[in-house]
Every structure is written in C-alpha cells, then in structure tokens.
Structure 1
Amino acid sequence: MTNPTRQPRELTITSVSNPRLKSLLALRRRRTRQETDETLVEGYEEIGLALSSGVRPSAVYVCEQLFSPAGRAGSQDIGHQEELLARLRHDRVEVVHLSRSAFEKVSYREGPDGLLAVVHSVEHTLADLRVDGPDHLSLLSQGVEKPGNLGAMLRTADAAGVDAVVAADPVTDWGNPNVVRASKGTVFAVPAASATTAQALEWIHAHDIRLVVTTPETDLLHTDVDYTGRVAIAVGSEKHGADRTLLEAATHRVRIPMHGKANSLNVAASAAIVLYEAVRQRDSR
C-alpha cells in the first residue's frame, strides 16, 4: 500500500544532453511558452516571491553546489535555500537534482544560485484587472521592447503599490524569463495584462480613469499634475515614445525636466519618477 504522505523519489540528472534539459531550454522561446503555458523562474528571491503570491511550481531544479555560502555579500544563506526546498517538498513539488554542468546549461542568469523552477505563465486580460475604489493607480507601457525594462517597471509598480500594469502592443510577453528576472518575481504579485493600445484606451475610458502620458512634447512638468483619484500613468517605447493615438487620448501630457545633454531618460526610470510623484501626492493627502 502506498503511503500518501511519502515524498516522491527525487530524480538526479548529470548529463547535459538529457531531454528534460532540452525542454527547459525550449521555454526561453515565446512560442514554446505559449504552447505549454509555462515559463521559468530562477533564483531564491524570485521563486520565494512567486510562492508567496500563490504560485505553485510544477518542478524545481536544484544544484546544491551552486548554493550561496553563508556570509557572501549580496547572497542568501544556504539555510534559507534549504528552507525553500523544504517548503517545496511539503507542497509535493517535484525536485530534480542537477550536476553543476547541467544546471549551468539551463541557467539564464549570471552567477546562478542553484534554484530554477517551472511555473505556469502569467497571462491576464484587461477583464481580469479589478478597478475598485476612487484611488485606482495604473501603469501603462506602450510598445516596450526590452524585457529588462518591462521587468524593472513591474518591480517599481510593486514597490509603489500600483493596482495594475498594462502592456499595450507589447513586443515581449510577461512570461519572458528576463522579465521575470528583472522584476525580481513581482510579475507574479502585480496584476498585469496585455492588450492593444485601442483596447487599453477603451478600458481606461470605461473605468473613468484619467490618463497622464509622458512626452517631451509639452511644457507641463510631471510635478504640476494632480495624481489623486483614478489615474493611469503611461510611457511609450524606448525608441519612439508614446504614439499619437496615446498622446491624443491623454488627459495630461507631462515631461520630466532634463538638465543634461541627453534628451531622454530610460523608460523604466521615467515610469518610476512619475509613479513616485503620484505616491508622494497621495501620501501627502
């Protein structure tokens, strides 16, 4: 008779040509992520935040040789990583042990810490986003190309207490491992959806949300706008900024003052500056 509380046997993989490693590498491709509805989360902090957000991995791949030693600057104690593994085992998540060479083959980050999980992809629609109360705050990014920028904006949105993030006409997907990495796992904590620009504007209008768009084509400073109430802050793509459709739909067009020789900021930095002006005003109120 099988004991239902007994942990399943843990597999060990040492060969870098193992088929399971090939399936992990395939998840770096957007098409595979869409077909399998899965993505990768690598790292102690990222996996821990995903778990705290209610995500249950289908499998976790482990290389104890890469666990960070205690006292190493900027790393987690081995004990913390073991605690995370114990938590995963308690939830009966499959644990697969990899040799160092096998783990480094599937790792997508520099200085891996020996933890890699397979989870369901994060894909929401605008209908999944809730707009409750009079003080809803959203972040809208239009046509952002770099996963690192999208992930950084998610991390800022989480810290600022943003209620929703919308990617309009996105070039990448929320399940991109580099989005997950740059967001430090907050992609699982912040309600986020993808849509066309037209759909996003319809959603904003339907919920009576004022739209504030960043652009250098205005004299109105970002600090001279009222961000209380229902507000969506929008930023455009890295190369072209917000398009004409977004600008024409704006309640306010705002610019961030530039005193140096460069005429623009990184899109994630721009989003952070305006978001925290909104946070400042709301906290002051």
Structure 2
Amino acid sequence: MSPRPDLEITSAANPRLKQLVALRRRRARDEAGVTVVEGFEELGLALDAGVRPRTLFYAPDLMLDPSAQLAVVDGARASGVETVKVSRSAFEKVAYREGPDGFLALVPAVRGDLADLQLPPAPLVLVCEGLEKPGNLGAMLRTADAAGVDAVIAVDPVTDWGNPNVVRGSKGTVFSVPVASATLGETVAWLRAAGIRLVATTPDTETLHTDADLTDGVAIAVGTEKFGLTDEALRAADVRVRIPMHGNVNSLNASAAAAIVVYEAVRQRSASSQVTALPL
C-alpha cells in the first residue's frame, strides 16, 4: 500500500495547529499521551533511539538543507508516519522556539518507571530532586548522555520529561538516556535494593567530590539551585560531597554541579579500570 498523501496547512488557525499550541500545557500532553519534539537534530536523535512519531509537521521553506532533510520526511512517510506540510508563516506562529528549522513531531509520551530501568553492574546514576527549570533538566540529560550515565531519575519533579523545553534542552537525549520519575522514598528504596550508594551534593560537608569514592554503583544526587537537596535526601545519603568554591558566589548552576561530579565519577572509573587491566 502506498503512503497516504500529505495534508497541507497554510493557516495557523487550522485546528491541527491549534492542538499543537495547546500541547504546551502539561495536562494537555498527559491527556493526549504525547511529547512534542521540535528541531531536526532533536528529531534525529529520537528516531535513532527507536522512537516512531505519530505525526510529523514540516515546513520546507524553513529547512536549512531541504534536499537532505526532506529525505527524512520521505522515510517517515514511507514507514507509515502521518506527515503534514505546513507553510512557513503558519509554522512560525505555532513553533515552540524562535528561529525554527521546520520540523515538529508528535511522539509517544516519555514515560519512565523505576521498575523499567535496566542497569549494568556498578551503574552510574544521576538523581535530580525537585528541579523546577526544564532547561536544567534537559542540560543534565545532555551531560548524562555524553558521560555514559546509565539512568537519570527525577525525584518529585516540578516538570515532566515531555516538557518541550526539556526535550529542547536535552537536544533529544531524553530519548537516548533511560529516565524515570519517582518520589524520594521510592527512589531511596530502589537504590537500596539495587545496592547503589547515594552520593549527595551539598556545601555543608568537608568531603570534596574528588576525595569520595565514586566507583562501583553510585547515584549522584543534586537539588535545586536555591535550596539544594532536601533534609530528607541528605539524611538518606551514604556520603555527602561538596564542590570547592573559590569565588564570591556560593553555588553553581544545578546542571553545572551535576556535570562536575558526574565527570569526576567517570574519571575515577576510567582510572580504576586501567589499574585493573594492568598485567600482574
């Protein structure tokens, strides 16, 4: 059976595009069971991770490399994905960000449960407690993807994994990094059952992050920029670490703090594996 022809939309008042605008609200996304992916690069990462869009909206007049990028549209259409051609003016009015590149897709909602996470031996996990800024959560996912983190857990999150700004901030890595959402109690119980130590970042400790043992199975926990981790999370931690601060500010951006400690864990693990690999 040949692919169905594209629907073409030229007005931002079209009901289909109005539905896209409505999906900026979390409740609407939850009810529809979808996540909005905007951007060619972000869509490419989602496709590489095995995500199959429900609908792909595209505007050829906004594409940076139409000949190559339209091939992606053709491939999606051939696989049975609904493809909708949108005029430049209509797309610009419903796009989630300034300077859109002509790609916006509806994909199945990003859902993650602790029980679904499959971890290797001695996993490296990132735990984000109460983060309120979608951009920070997205940036942490980019770090997690680059550093080879095995899972990211959002504890009592203010935002959801399907927030368009999370997807954008993560550059699409929300689809390549295993994620989950849970309460603090559920997360701590899950970590204990898996034999994973909880490492809390806080300025209220003498232990530097470089002095702590971050090998074996560890979960590095970061909190909000304003308040940090909750007292409950700090009490649950197996060890507390701090990042040395030599300037006038007393805190780092949450995603920057996460990146510093995560890469220290990567460094330690790399050094440990090299020592293990040395001949006797």
* Secondary structure, aligned partner of 1:171: coil
Counterpart in 2 of 1:211? 198
- Tell me which of 127, 130, 133 is aligned to 1:146: 133
Counterpart in 2 of 1:185? 172
Matches within 5 A, 1:62-211: 62-68=58-64, 77-133=65-121, 135-211=122-198
CA deviations 1:231-280 (Å, max 9, x no partner) are: 00000112110011111111111110111111000000000000000011
Structure 1: which 5+ runs fail to align? 69-76
Q: Does 2:247 correspond to 1:260?
A: yes
| d(CA) in 1 for partners of 2:134, 2:244 | 26
Equivalent pair of 2:225/2:251 in contact (CA under 8 Å): no
Q: How big is the shift at 1:91?
A: 1.3
CA deviations 1:204-240 (Å, max 9, x no partner) are: 1111111111000011100001111110000011211
Q: How big is the shift at 1:90?
A: 2.3
| d(CA) in 2 for partners of 1:11, 1:83 | 17
Q: Does 2:19 correspond to 1:31?
A: no
* Secondary structure, aligned partner of 2:110: coil
CA deviations 1:80-138 (Å, max 9, x no partner) are: 312322221221211111111110121111211001000011011111112332x2110
Counterpart in 2 of 1:74? none
- Aligned partner letter, 1:59: T
- Aligned partner letter, 1:80: A
RMSD across aligned positions (CA): 0.9
Q: Does 2:61 correspond to 1:58?
A: no
| d(CA) in 1 for partners of 2:35, 2:217 | 33
| d(CA) in 1 for partners of 2:93, 2:130 | 31
Q: What is the TM-score with the length of structure 1 in the denominator?
A: 0.94
Equivalent pair of 1:145/1:238 in contact (CA under 8 Å): no
| d(CA) in 1 for partners of 2:96, 2:109 | 17
Counterpart in 1 of 2:266? 279
| d(CA) in 1 for partners of 2:77, 2:253 | 41
- Aligned partner letter, 1:109: R
Equivalent pair of 2:58/2:103 in contact (CA under 8 Å): yes
Structure 2: which 5+ runs fail to align? 273-280
| d(CA) in 2 for partners of 1:47, 1:202 | 35
| d(CA) in 2 for partners of 1:83, 1:137 | 37
Matches within 5 A, 1:32-51: 32-51=28-47
| d(CA) in 2 for partners of 1:83, 1:156 | 30
Identity, % of aligned positions: 60
- Tell me which of 192, 206, 221 is aligned to 1:234: 221
